[in-house]
Amino acid sequence: MSTEENEIFAHAMSMVNCFSLPTVFTTAMELNVFKIINELSKDDGGGGGASPLEISSRLQTENPEAASMVDRMLHLLANYSLLTCSVRTSEGGLVERVYGIGPVSKFFLTEQDGGSLAYLSFLNSHAAHAKARSSLKDAVLEGGVPFEKAHADIDPRFSSIFNKAMASHSIIILKKILETYKGFEGLNSLVDVGGGDGSTLNMIINKYPSIRGINYDLPHVIQHLLPSLGIENIEGNMFEAVPKGDAVLLKFFSSKKRCGASMAGSELFQKWSNFRDSPTFLSTSVLYEEICGSWATLLKLIELQSICHNWNDEQCVTLLKNCYKALPETGKVIIIDPLMPEAAETNFTGKLVAELDITMLISLGGRERTEREFAALSKAAGFSCLKVVSCVYAHSILDVHK
């Protein structure tokens, strides 16, 4: 049999066994294995890495099989380049594998500034998401959003996992954006639409202290925020109006309900859900003059980060129209969202965007979009020009001008 035939069969079989990888990865995260390996490697002077026996000795277990089980798990992760792996022979002739932190696994550690993909992994492996995934078939046949079909109510603990996951993932991306993207230079003001706890604006303003930040979010989010230097917290509904600014940021534009996690199951959440589903939702466009007016001279820009991928096309156009009204002639919307390639791409970035698209389909009923689709939404909202400025960790930065 040819090598090609063998590989094709192995590819098919690996689909059948594809659950092994997420199972092992999630378990390694739960056992804190990446952190343990990192610490052991540092103790070792950063050279050799850690053996399964050394790793399992740091787990709270008496199981004599633990080292062997850890070894088999880490071997699989190393096969996917999630860890480095080498073989060493001790003086006594014992041959063993040693595992180290590689360029990929460093994202699963928690940096001092809180940046990490670890929490996103906990979020995606949460039972609430597992249950939602099992509703995908019903959603295809019957319509609806799988997450909503699977959950009449949301576990309150899921909310804090969600918020932590968003924030720690966002730090990694924003740090890199601030290193490479120059579009914040020269702005007097920046509106972060759906800015959540304001940490994105805080990082931007740390680098550009002359920018006046406006953190715009739903009332239940804004009401819990403490004042922050250089940032004005404004509450409102972006589908009704957006405060005026030099630029508007739409970044990781998040979920209808998971972000407003604290309101899940509450009366407010019910009201919001009813409003969201009502026919007046999309047609409502009340400009909050009392909010916008006072900012008119200070603000010319508004920013939108991964905001769009949670919403359908009509909702995105409504939001972009509100951004248009909030901007001066020279203003821009900055969209930070993954860009879907037109044709399938087999590299990791292409696979990631396709996987994120399914995550959005299952959990929010949102979608990832191509550049062409973003351009069409912007045009429908009145903008004349959309430019892909750069791509950072699979997230594209799009500048949208009037």
Ligand X SMILES: C[S@@+](CC[C@H](N)C(=O)[O-])C[C@H]1O[C@@H](n2cnc3c(N)ncnc32)[C@H](O)[C@@H]1O
Backbone angles phi and psi of 193, in degrees to 5: -80, 125
Q: By the 8 A CB rule, do 304 and 316 touch?
A: no
Near ligand X by CB under 6 A: residue from 77, 154, 214, 259 = 259
Closer residue to ligand X in complex, CB, 269/374 = 269
Q: By the 8 A CB rule, do 373 and 310 touch?
A: no
278-307: which residues touch ligand X (CB under 6 A)?
Answer: 305
- 132-171 burial, b at 16+ Cβ within 10 Å, e below that, comes to bbebbeebeeeeebbbbbbbeebeeebbebbbbbbbbbbb
Residues linked to residue 339 through DSSP beta bridges, in sequence order: 369
Q: By the 8 A CB rule, do 336 and 396 touch?
A: yes
Closer residue to ligand X in complex, CB, 166/377 = 166
Q: By the 8 A CB rule, do 41 and 25 touch?
A: no
Q: How far is the CB of 30 from ligand X (least distance, A)?
A: 24
Q: How far is the CB of 121 from ligand X (least distance, A)?
A: 17
DSSP three-state, residue 366? coil
- Site membership for ligand X, residue 251 (CB under 6 A): yes
Closer residue to ligand X in complex, CB, 49/243 = 243
Q: By the 8 A CB rule, do 253 and 307 touch?
A: yes
Which span sits near ligand X by CB under 6 A: 7-15, 56-64, 77-85, 194-202? Answer: 194-202
DSSP three-state, residue 107? helix
Q: How far is the CB of 291 from ligand X (least distance, A)?
A: 12
Q: By the 8 A CB rule, do 259 and 311 touch?
A: no
Q: By the 8 A CB rule, do 192 and 198 touch?
A: yes
Residue holding tokens 């080292």?
A: 67
Closer residue to ligand X in complex, CB, 40/171 = 171
- Other beta carbons within 10 angstroms of residue 201's beta carbon come to 28
- Site membership for ligand X, residue 52 (CB under 6 A): no
Residues that bind ligand X (rule: CB under 6 A) add up to a total of 19
Catalytic residue (one of 126, 151, 169, 309): 309
- String marking each residue 219-248 x if it binds ligand X according to CB under 6 A: --x---------------xxx---------
Q: How far is the CB of 217 from ligand X (least distance, A)?
A: 4
- String marking each residue 138-177 x if it binds ligand X according to CB under 6 A: ----------------------------x---x-------
Residue holding tokens 């090598």?
A: 3
Alpha-carbon distances, residue 364 vs 61, 124, 159, 371 (angstroms): 39, 13, 14, 21
Near ligand X by CB under 6 A: residue from 100, 194, 213, 245 = 194
- Other beta carbons within 10 angstroms of residue 62's beta carbon come to 6
Q: By the 8 A CB rule, do 192 and 216 touch?
A: yes
Alpha-carbon gap, residue 218 to 255, rounded angstroms: 12
Q: By the 8 A CB rule, do 246 and 299 touch?
A: yes
Closer residue to ligand X in complex, CB, 194/365 = 194
Near ligand X by CB under 6 A: residue from 98, 190, 218, 397 = 218
Residue whose C-alpha is closest to residue 111's, from 172, 29, 55, 198: 172
Which span sits near ligand X by CB under 6 A: 13-21, 101-109, 195-203, 326-334? Answer: 195-203
Cβ contacts of 7 within 8 Å, gap of 6 or more: none
Q: How far is the CB of 10 from ligand X (least distance, A)?
A: 39
Which span sits near ligand X by CB under 6 A: 43-51, 181-189, 249-257, 371-379? Answer: 249-257
Q: How far is the CB of 366 from ligand X (least distance, A)?
A: 11
Alpha-carbon gap, residue 218 to 223, rounded angstroms: 9
Residue 397 structure tokens: 């930065």
- Site membership for ligand X, residue 217 (CB under 6 A): yes
- Site membership for ligand X, residue 254 (CB under 6 A): yes
309 is a catalytic site residue: yes
Closer residue to ligand X in complex, CB, 336/386 = 336
Q: How far is the CB of 19 from ligand X (least distance, A)?
A: 28
User: Closest residue to ligand X, Cβ-based?
Assistant: 254
Closer residue to ligand X in complex, CB, 100/260 = 260
- Site membership for ligand X, residue 116 (CB under 6 A): no
Instruction: Give contact residues for ligand X (rule: CB under 6 A).
Output: 166, 170, 194-196, 200, 217-218, 221, 237-239, 251-254, 259-260, 305
Catalytic positions, written as ranges: 309
